[in-house]
Structure 1
Amino acid sequence: MNKMSVKFLFPLVALIMLLIVLDRKVFMVPPLGTFLNPFIGVVQNEHTSNRNKKVNLEVSQKTEIVFDDRAVPHIFAGNQKDMFFAQGYVCASDRLWQMDFMSYISAGRLSEIFGKKFYVHDVIKRREGMSNAALRTLKYIENDQETKRALDSYTAGVNAWIKSLSYADLPVEYKLMDYTPEPWTNLKTVLIMKYVSADLSGYEEDVPASFLETVLGSEEYNKLFPNYYVKKRKEGFGIQRILDSLPVNEYINSSFLESSPEIPTGDFNPNVGSNSWVVGPKKSKSGFALLCSDPHLNLSFPSIWYELQLKSDEQNVYGYSIPGVPGVIIGFNDNISWGLTNGSDDVRDYYKLEVKDNYSYYKYDGKWIKTDSIIEEIKIRDDTSFLDIVYYSKHGPILSDSRAGDPELKGYALNWTLHDPSNEILTFIRLNKAKDYTQFKKAIEYYKCPSQNFSYADVTGNIAVHHQGKILAKKWKNQGKFIMDGTRSDQFSTDALPLDKLPYTYNPDEGYVYSANNNPYKSPNSPIIYGHYKEFRADKIDSWLSAKEKLSIDDMKTMQMDNTNRLAEVAIPVFLQKMPSGESKHLQEFAHWDYKYNKDSRIAQLFEIWWTKIKINTWDELLRYKSHKMRLDDLVLLDMICNDPDNKYFDLLSSEKTENASDIIDISFNQMLKDTTTGSNWGNLNKINIMHLSNLKEFSKTGIPLGGHPQALNSLSKKWGPSLRMIVEMSDKPKGYAVYAGGQSGNPSSDEYDRFIDAWENGRYYELKFFSNIDEGNAQAKYKWSLQ
C-alpha cells in the first residue's frame, strides 16, 4: 500500500480547513468554500459530457442519441414518447440553467433567486397576467392528449437529467447564484412559450399616440401615421395609403387623457424584425424550392436556439428548438420546410378604467361590476413573502393600484391575446410530422399569439406564406392604436378574424413569396388591421428576387448577408437630385456609393448622420410635445420628400425663411459635415453585444464590430439581429445550410458555448447532417448516448 506524501498532506489539511471557514454565504455572494472546492465547485464546470455512455432510463425502447462533430444531437427513437423524453434529457444536459431561468423570468419569480431588488420586476410580471395566463393555458392544452403526451415525456426527460446531477455537475450559474434546480413541470414549458410570445409582442405607443392625435387632430395624425404598403411607381418611390372605411369613434380629448400615464416603450427595436422568403422551382437553378428563414431576435448567451434532429416511427425532422419546449420550431422534415417572421400586428390594448372601493368595482356601461382577483405570492429570498392581489376587469389584469405595480399604469387594464388559452405547442408537434400543404395549414390553425408569418416549401415544389394568429377584428377607425375607454362596451371587442380572412399567398405567378414584418393586409378585400409593420426589407427582398431569372443557394446566402441599406439605396438618388449643384467630395462619394453598411465603410456613417439630421430638422414641430417618443416612419418621411416637397413640416421653426424638402436636405448635409463623428467607419459605431441571460459580462461577448443595419437584410442593431440563418433546398432528400449566433452548450467553460459565433459573424454556413437512419448517424458520430 502506498503511503500518502507528507508534502501533500499539509496542503490538503489547510485546504479542508479553509473550505470549512469559507462555506457560508455572505450577502449575495455564494458560499466560497463550496464554490471554490476543486472536487465539486466551479472547477468541475470545465468538464463536459462529450463521451459515449449508456444510461438506464424510463424509455420503452432503446433510444440512441448521436452527436455529430458540432455537438448537434440526432435522436433516434422507436416512438414519439421516447423521442420527446430523449429531447428533454439531452436539452437539459446542455441548457438546463437557461430554460429554468427563462421560466423564472416569465413567472415573475426572480426575487426567489436574487432577493428584494427584483421585487418590482416580479410584481410587474404578475400584474401583466403572465403566470395566470400560463396556468389557464396549461389546463387548456392538457385536454389535448397529443400535446399532453409530448409535454409529459419531455418533462420526464428533463427530470431524469436533473436527478442525475450532483452539486459538482450543476451548471455554473446555479453555483454562482447559490440555488439549485427544482423539478421540471409542464407549466415551466408553457411559461417559456409565454416568455417568447411576450418578447415578440412588440412595443407600446398607445399613450403618446393618444396625446399626439389630440394635439394634431385625426386628419393630420392619419397623414403622419398612415396604414400603408409600398407601391412601385414609374416616376419614383412611394407608399400606397390604405383606405380606412371603418366608422369614426370620437372619444379622445384632453379631459380623457388628463391623468394618462407614459407607458414605457421597453427595449424592443421596431426596425429589427425577421426575414423569410421562398423561391419556387421555376426560379430555382436546381429546379427545387428554396426556403430561407432568418429570425431577428435578441442575441444572447446561451442562444434562444438549440439545434437537433428528432426521428421516430412517425417523423424525421431537423431544425431549431427553443430550450424547454418539445419539438422543432423552425426547420424541415422529409417532405416540407417552414420558417417564421413576426406578424407585427398590435396585440396589446390598454383600457382606462373608472374604479371604486379600492379596485373592488369598475364602471361599465353605467353599472358597477365587481372585479375578479387573484392572490399572487411573491417569494423573496432571505425575506418575508409578499402577497399581492391582482385585480381583473373583463378587459384583463389591472396593471397598477395604490399598493403595487408601476404607478404610471394606475387604473389601466391590459387586454392581450397572450392571456387567452391557446395551443401553439400543438402547431409545432403537427408541423414536425406534416407531409404536405394541407397538413401544414391544419397545423398552423392552432397558432394564436403573437401573430406570425409561416413560410412554406415542399418537395413537390409548392410554396406559400401564411399570416397566422388571433387577430381582433376592428369595429371602428384606429381601434387599438390609442388608449381606449374601459367604461364603454362599444370600445371592447373579443371577436377575432375568421381563418379565411387571414392573408396568405400560395404558388404565385412570380414564383416566389416573402415576408419581412411588412403589412400583409394590402389586397382590396383585406380587413383593416393595425400594427407596427416595416416595409424596407420586404421591398429589398422583392427587388432581389424579381431581378434574377434563376436563383441558387449561394444567392440565398448572399441575400441573407446583404448589408445594403434599402433606405439609403432609395433615398440617395433623390437627395442628390434635390441638392444644389457643387463639387463636394462627399457628394461624389455618395453618388458612387453601393449603399452597403459594411463594417469598414465610412460613407455609411455619413449617411446615418445625414438622415438623422433630416429627421430632426423635419419633425422639429413635433419634438415640443409630450408625444416626442413616437417613432415616425422613415418611409413616410421619404415619401413626403419625394411626393410632397412643400409640406409644412419642412419649414424650420428656428428660421424666418420658408424651407422645403430641398432646403432641409441641404441644411442637414452641411450639419453632417460639421459632425465630429464623420471620421469613423460603421463597424466602430455598430458594435454588437451578445449578453449572457444574467448580464454577466464574463459570460458575454461585447463590442463586436459588424456590418449590417436595421434597414438591411442583414438586420443588426446593438443586441438584436439574425439569431439564426437557415436555407433549405427541398430536393428529394432535403438539404439544409445554417448557422446561429451561439453554440450548442450553455456551459461558458465549454468550447461549444460560442463555437458558431465566428462563422455567424463572417457569413459562413454549416451543411446540416440530416440522417435518414441510425446507421447513417453512427457513421458520422463523434460520440453517442444510449438510453435503455
Structure 2
Amino acid sequence: MRTILLPNGTTITHSKQGQPTIQAKDESSIAFGQGYLAALHRMWSMEQQRRVASARMSELAGAATLGIDRWICRLGILEAVDACYERIQQDEGYHSILTSYADGVNYALKKDRKKSLGIEFKLMKCLPEPWTAKDSVRVLVLVSWSLAGNWEEQLVRMNTLACLGLEQAAMLETDTWERGHRSYQESARGVQSAFAQTSFLVEEYQEIRRRAGLLPRRSGSNAWIVAGQHTESGKPILAGDPHMPLGLPGLFMENKLRSQDGKIFAIGASIPGIPGVIIGRNASLAWSITVSGAITAELCLEPVGVATYPKIYPISVKGEEKAQEEHVNWTAHGPILPVQHSGFDLALSWTGHKGLDAGSMSGIWALMCSQSGKEIEEATKHWGGPVLNLLWAEVERQDGNYGWKVIGTIPLRTEAFQGFLPSLSSTDEPWQGFIPAEKLPAERNPERGYLVSANHRMTPADYPYVISHEYMSAYRAERIENLVKACITNKKYTIEDARNIQIDQTSEAAIDLRDIIVRSLAGKEEALDQKAVQSLELLKRWNGALSTNSSAAAIVKMTEDYLYHLVADQLFGLDESCKDGWLGNGHTPINPGLMSHWRMREVLLTLILTRLEEFTSIASGEWDELIQKAFKQAIEELSRRYGQSTDLWRWGQIHKLELLHPLVQMPVYEQLSPLLTGIKMLFRLSRGPYELGGDEHTPWQASSYPVPQKYQKHPKRLWATAYQPAYRFVASDSGRIYSCLPGGISGHTWQIWSTNQLTSYLRGRLFESSL
C-alpha cells in the first residue's frame, strides 16, 4: 500500500487495486486531499474540461478545435459559468470547500511540476495553470450541458414535421400514443409556418463533429433498490451503473473519504474537478442516479429584428497571431443560434444561463453527508442541473427506508404539448417559473418492495407537469424489473443477484424483432436460399441473449440496422438532414448524438406491430417488404464479411469496444490518420478492441452510436461507441460496497492503475471494499 502525507496532516493511502482512501481532520482538509488526488491522477482530464468550458481548447490544439470553441460561445456556456459562480460565491461555506479543493490541486501542481503530470502535457507542449474554484464550476456546467440536449430533439421534430406533415409526424412521438395527436398538433400549428424548409443547419455542424470525443455526451443509467423485506440481511440493497461513452481515462474515479470530526464517511465515484462523491454510500445511506431527460434547454422562435444585444468573444488559436472572433446576438430568451431561417431566429433558452447549477455543486457535497431521506430532500432542494432521478436507501437499517425522487430545476409546463417543438416568443422570460422542488415526482417505500430506474418514464399518468418527451425505451427497465421479481418470488435477494442483473445481456426488444422477422417470413421459406433458411432456424431457437458468441444475435442486430435505415429512406427520401437527425446524429460537437436514436427504435417496433392504417408514410403492406429486404441484406453482409457458414457469425465480431484517449478519439466510422495511429500505439492511448455483448436494451448497457447515413455500411458502425456502465457498484449493509471501474483510478497510461480493473469490468466482476 502506498501512503502520501500532505502538509495539513491529511493522508492518502492506495490499496492494491489503486482505490484511494483520504483521511483528514475536517471537511476542508478532505476537500484539499480530494483536490490533490484528482490532480495526481487526472490532471489532463481536468485541464481539458476547463479549457473546453472556457472556449480555450484552440490555444493548445489549433484550428482543429476552433469549431468547439465557437460553439461554447454560441451556446452561452461562458455566461452559464459566470452566473453559476456568482451564486456560489454567495454561499461562503461551500465556496470555502471549492477553495480548499483548488488549494489541493495547486499543491499537487507545485509539488509535481518537475515530474510528469501526464504525457498529454508533453505532447501538447504546455503546463497547467493554477486551478481555481471557478474551474470546478466550469467542469460541472459542462457536465450539466451535456445532459441538456432537448433543443436538438426539437430541431429533429421540426425537420420531421416539414418532411412528413403534421399527422404523420405526430405518430412518431411516444407521448402521442398515450395522449392522442392533439398535443403535437397544437404545438406544431404555432411554429409550422415559421420554418417551411427542411434544412436548418449550417455546414459547419457536420464538419466539426469528428472532434466530438473531446466532450461529454448525453447518457443513460440503471439504478434499482430491493427492500429489506426481500433481502437476506433484512436491509435494502442498492445497485447502480451510470452510463457514459467510455474512454481512457473514464469520467469517474473512486474515493474513500474519512474525516476525524465524523461529518464525512463516504465511498463512491467522484468527477475529477468537483469535490464530493456523486454516487456511492456513507455510513447510513447509499444513492445512485439516472438521467431523467428533463426539458431544460429549448428553442424559442424570435421574429427577425427583435431587440438583441451583441457579444464578441475572442478565441486564441495556436499558430495564429491574431485572435479569432465569434459574434453572438442575445435576446431575453438566450443566444441566437446560427441557423437558416425564414422570418424568424432561433434563441436557446437553458436553465444553466441563470446560474441554477450552483445548487447542484453544493448539493453533491450535502448529499454525501446526508444521513436520512429527509436530509437528502433538503440537500437536493436547490439542485439545478443536470436533472436526475435520485435513488436512495438506508442500507444499514433493518427494513430501512428507500425512495426515488427527481432532482433539479425544470421549467413549469402544464400543457402536454409544451416542449415538443420550439416555442413562440411572447414574453420577456422564456418560462413562467419552475416546478417547485416539493412537487417533483417521487416515491418512497412502495408496497411492491422495489424501485427501478432506467431512463424510462417513471412519472404517473396523472402527473400535472411536463418533465420530458425524451424518455428512453422501457425495454431495459422492464427487463431489470422482471429479473428482480424473479429473484424475490421464491427466495431472498442477494448481492450476487444484483451483480447478475447488472451483467444480464438478454434483450426483450431483440426478441420482439426476432418474432417480427419470423412472422414476416412465415410461409416464404421455399423462396429463401440455404443460408437464409439456416439463419431463420437459428432465430427460432434463440433465447434473446446478445452474447458475444451468438450467431442469432448477429443476424437480428444486423437486420435491425438495415431496417432502421430502410425506414429512414422510406420516410425522408433524399433528405439527408432529416435522415441523420431521425437516425440520432446530433447537430453540434457538444452533443453529437441524440436520444431520438433509441426512442425511435421503440416507436418503430410499435408501428410494425400495430400496422396503423393512419400511418400512410409506410403503408401496412410495405412493412413486410422492408423487413424481408433488411433480413436479406443482413445475411448478405454477414456472409461477405465472415464466411458462408452461419456458424462463423458472432455478435462479438461486429460489436466491439475500444477504449480511446481523447487525444485520439474520433467516431468509429472514421479512420485515424497515420500520425494519430502512431501516437496511439506509442503512448498506449487506447485499449482494445474487445468483443462485447449486450445492446442499448439490455441491463448490461452496450449501445452503438448512430452514424450519418453516408456511413451506413461502414464495417465498424455497430461497435459499442455509445453508452456503457462508467462505474458499477452494489451497496449493502455492514459498510460494504462492491464496485468496478472500466479502466482504473489513474489517468496515466503507463501506470498499472490505469487499466488494472479493465479485465474484471469486461467479465462483470466487482471488487469488495468497506468504509
TM range (shorter): 0.7 to 0.9
Residues 301 and 742 in structure 1, CA contact (< 8 A), matched pair in contact too: yes
Instruction: Evaluate the alpha carbon distance shift between residue 615 and residue 183 of structure 1 in structure 2; reply closer, same or farther with a 3 A threshold.
Output: closer
Instruction: Report the equivalent of 1:338.
Output: 287
Residues 379 and 386 in structure 1, CA contact (< 8 A), matched pair in contact too: yes
| 1:542-576 Cα distance to aligned partner (Å, 9 max, x none) | 22122232321111111111111220133434543
Instruction: Report the equivalent of 1:521.
Output: 459
> Could you tell me which of 241, 248, 252 is aligned with 2:191?
252
Q: Post-superposition shift, 1:246?
A: 9.3
Instruction: Report the equivalent of 2:764.
Output: 763
Whether 2:471 is the aligned partner of 1:469: answer no
| 1:432-484 Cα distance to aligned partner (Å, 9 max, x none) | 11110100111122222121111111123211111222222235553333234
Instruction: Evaluate the alpha carbon distance shift between residue 123 and residue 663 of structure 1 in structure 2; reply closer, same or farther with a 3 A threshold.
Output: closer
Instruction: Evaluate the alpha carbon distance shift between residue 641 and residue 124 of structure 1 in structure 2; reply closer, same or farther with a 3 A threshold.
Output: closer
Q: SS of the residue aligned with 1:94?
A: helix
Whether 2:277 is the aligned partner of 1:292: answer no
Instruction: Evaluate the alpha carbon distance shift between residue 170 and residue 451 of structure 1 in structure 2; reply closer, same or farther with a 3 A threshold.
Output: closer
| 1:70-116 Cα distance to aligned partner (Å, 9 max, x none) | 22221111111111111111221111222122111121101111234
Instruction: Report the equivalent of 1:28.
Output: none
Whether 2:659 is the aligned partner of 1:690: answer yes
TM-score, with length taken from structure 2: 0.82
Whether 2:49 is the aligned partner of 1:107: answer no
- 2:522 partner amino acid: P
Whether 2:333 is the aligned partner of 1:386: answer no
| 1:602-647 Cα distance to aligned partner (Å, 9 max, x none) | 1111001223344445554312245223147222222233333656
Q: Post-superposition shift, 1:577?
A: 4.4
Instruction: Report the equivalent of 1:219.
Output: 167
Q: In 1, Cα distance between the equivalents of 2:732 and 2:301?
A: 51
Instruction: Evaluate the alpha carbon distance shift between residue 607 and residue 647 of structure 1 in structure 2; reply closer, same or farther with a 3 A threshold.
Output: farther
| 1:21-76 Cα distance to aligned partner (Å, 9 max, x none) | xxxxxxxxxxxxxxxxxxxxxxxxxxxxx854544x3x3xx322222112222111
Q: SS of the residue aligned with 2:329?
A: strand
Whether 2:446 is the aligned partner of 1:508: answer yes
> Could you tell me which of 136, 141, 146 is aligned with 1:189?
136
Q: Post-superposition shift, 1:415?
A: 1.1
Instruction: Evaluate the alpha carbon distance shift between residue 616 and residue 176 of structure 1 in structure 2; reply closer, same or farther with a 3 A threshold.
Output: closer
Residues 331 and 338 in structure 1, CA contact (< 8 A), matched pair in contact too: yes
Q: In 2, Cα distance between the equivalents of 1:494 and 1:505?
A: 26
Instruction: Report the equivalent of 1:627.
Output: 578
Q: In 2, Cα distance between the equivalents of 1:132 and 1:271?
A: 21
Q: Post-superposition shift, 1:291?
A: 0.6
Q: In 2, Cα distance between the equivalents of 1:745 and 1:200?
A: 25
Q: In 2, Cα distance between the equivalents of 1:757 and 1:303?
A: 11
Instruction: Evaluate the alpha carbon distance shift between residue 768 and residue 244 of structure 1 in structure 2; reply closer, same or farther with a 3 A threshold.
Output: farther
Q: In 2, Cα distance between the equivalents of 1:720 and 1:661?
A: 28
Instruction: Evaluate the alpha carbon distance shift between residue 377 and residue 582 of structure 1 in structure 2; reply closer, same or farther with a 3 A threshold.
Output: closer
Q: SS of the residue aligned with 1:438?
A: helix
Instruction: Evaluate the alpha carbon distance shift between residue 259 and residue 410 of structure 1 in structure 2; reply closer, same or farther with a 3 A threshold.
Output: farther
Instruction: Report the equivalent of 1:726.
Output: 728
Deviates further, 387-396 or 269-278: 269-278
Instruction: Report the equivalent of 2:745.
Output: 744
Whether 2:452 is the aligned partner of 1:452: answer no
Q: Post-superposition shift, 1:352?
A: 3.6
Instruction: Report the equivalent of 2:586.
Output: none
| 1:632-686 Cα distance to aligned partner (Å, 9 max, x none) | 722222223333365655856xxxxx72555554454444443445753111111
The number of residues matched between the two structures is: 684
Instruction: Report the equivalent of 1:261.
Output: 200
Q: In 2, Cα distance between the equivalents of 1:119 and 1:712?
A: 38
Instruction: Evaluate the alpha carbon distance shift between residue 381 and residue 271 of structure 1 in structure 2; reply closer, same or farther with a 3 A threshold.
Output: closer
Q: In 1, Cα distance between the equivalents of 2:73 and 2:626?
A: 48
Q: In 2, Cα distance between the equivalents of 1:610 and 1:380?
A: 45
Q: In 2, Cα distance between the equivalents of 1:420 and 1:735?
A: 39
Q: Post-superposition shift, 1:260?
A: 6.0
Q: In 1, Cα distance between the equivalents of 2:618 and 2:512?
A: 23
Deviates further, 100-109 or 379-388: 379-388
Q: In 2, Cα distance between the equivalents of 1:646 and 1:410?
A: 36
Instruction: Evaluate the alpha carbon distance shift between residue 392 and residue 721 of structure 1 in structure 2; reply closer, same or farther with a 3 A threshold.
Output: same
Instruction: Report the equivalent of 1:134.
Output: 81
| 1:357-386 Cα distance to aligned partner (Å, 9 max, x none) | xxxxx42xxxxx3x3344433223342223
Instruction: Report the equivalent of 1:700.
Output: 686
Q: In 1, Cα distance between the equivalents of 2:128 and 2:268?
A: 27
Q: Which residues in structure 2 correspond to 1:416-495 (within 5 Å)?
A: 416-422=350-356, 423-458=359-394, 459-460=396-397, 461-474=400-413, 476=415, 478-486=417-425, 488-489=426-427, 492-495=430-433
Deviates further, 190-199 or 475-484: 475-484
Q: SS of the residue aligned with 1:114?
A: helix
Q: In 1, Cα distance between the equivalents of 2:441 and 2:133?
A: 33
Instruction: Evaluate the alpha carbon distance shift between residue 120 and residue 245 of structure 1 in structure 2; reply closer, same or farther with a 3 A threshold.
Output: closer
Q: Post-superposition shift, 1:285?
A: 3.0
Q: In 1, Cα distance between the equivalents of 2:510 and 2:293?
A: 23
Instruction: Report the equivalent of 1:777.
Output: none
Residues 247 and 476 in structure 1, CA contact (< 8 A), matched pair in contact too: no
Q: Which residues in structure 2 correspond to 1:571-586 (within 5 Å)?
A: 571-577=513-519, 579-581=521-523, 584-586=533-535
Instruction: Report the equivalent of 1:715.
Output: 701
Instruction: Evaluate the alpha carbon distance shift between residue 411 and residue 648 of structure 1 in structure 2; reply closer, same or farther with a 3 A threshold.
Output: closer
Instruction: Report the equivalent of 1:642.
Output: 609
Residues 242 and 728 in structure 2, CA contact (< 8 A), matched pair in contact too: no
Q: In 2, Cα distance between the equivalents of 1:588 and 1:292?
A: 37
Q: In 2, Cα distance between the equivalents of 1:246 and 1:224?
A: 10
Structure 1 unaligned segments of length 5 or more: list them: 1-49, 229-238, 356-361, 364-368, 653-657, 771-788
Residues 40 and 117 in structure 2, CA contact (< 8 A), matched pair in contact too: no
- 1:108 partner amino acid: A
Residues 305 and 320 in structure 1, CA contact (< 8 A), matched pair in contact too: yes
Q: SS of the residue aligned with 1:196?
A: helix
| 1:676-731 Cα distance to aligned partner (Å, 9 max, x none) | 45753111111112111222623112422211211211111323333434333432
Instruction: Report the equivalent of 2:346.
Output: 412
Residues 650 and 661 in structure 1, CA contact (< 8 A), matched pair in contact too: no
Instruction: Report the equivalent of 2:470.
Output: 532
Residues 275 and 295 in structure 1, CA contact (< 8 A), matched pair in contact too: yes
Q: In 1, Cα distance between the equivalents of 2:659 and 2:318?
A: 29
Instruction: Report the equivalent of 2:650.
Output: 681
Q: Post-superposition shift, 1:491?
A: 9.7
Q: In 2, Cα distance between the equivalents of 1:620 and 1:579?
A: 22
Whether 2:557 is the aligned partner of 1:608: answer yes
> Could you tell me which of 162, 166, 176 is aligned with 2:113?
166
Q: SS of the residue aligned with 2:451?
A: strand
Q: SS of the residue aligned with 1:557?
A: helix
Residues 336 and 346 in structure 2, CA contact (< 8 A), matched pair in contact too: yes
Residues 400 and 407 in structure 1, CA contact (< 8 A), matched pair in contact too: no
The root-mean-square deviation of aligned C-alpha atoms, in Å, is 3.0
Larger Rg, first or second structure (1 or 2): 1
Residues 605 and 680 in structure 1, CA contact (< 8 A), matched pair in contact too: yes
> Could you tell me which of 366, 381, 397 is aligned with 2:335?
397
Q: In 2, Cα distance between the equivalents of 1:342 and 1:140?
A: 24
Q: In 1, Cα distance between the equivalents of 2:170 and 2:185?
A: 14
Instruction: Report the equivalent of 1:543.
Output: 482
Q: SS of the residue aligned with 1:376?
A: strand
Q: Post-superposition shift, 1:412?
A: 3.1
Q: Percent identity?
A: 25
- 1:262 partner amino acid: L
Residues 349 and 415 in structure 1, CA contact (< 8 A), matched pair in contact too: yes
- 2:509 partner amino acid: L
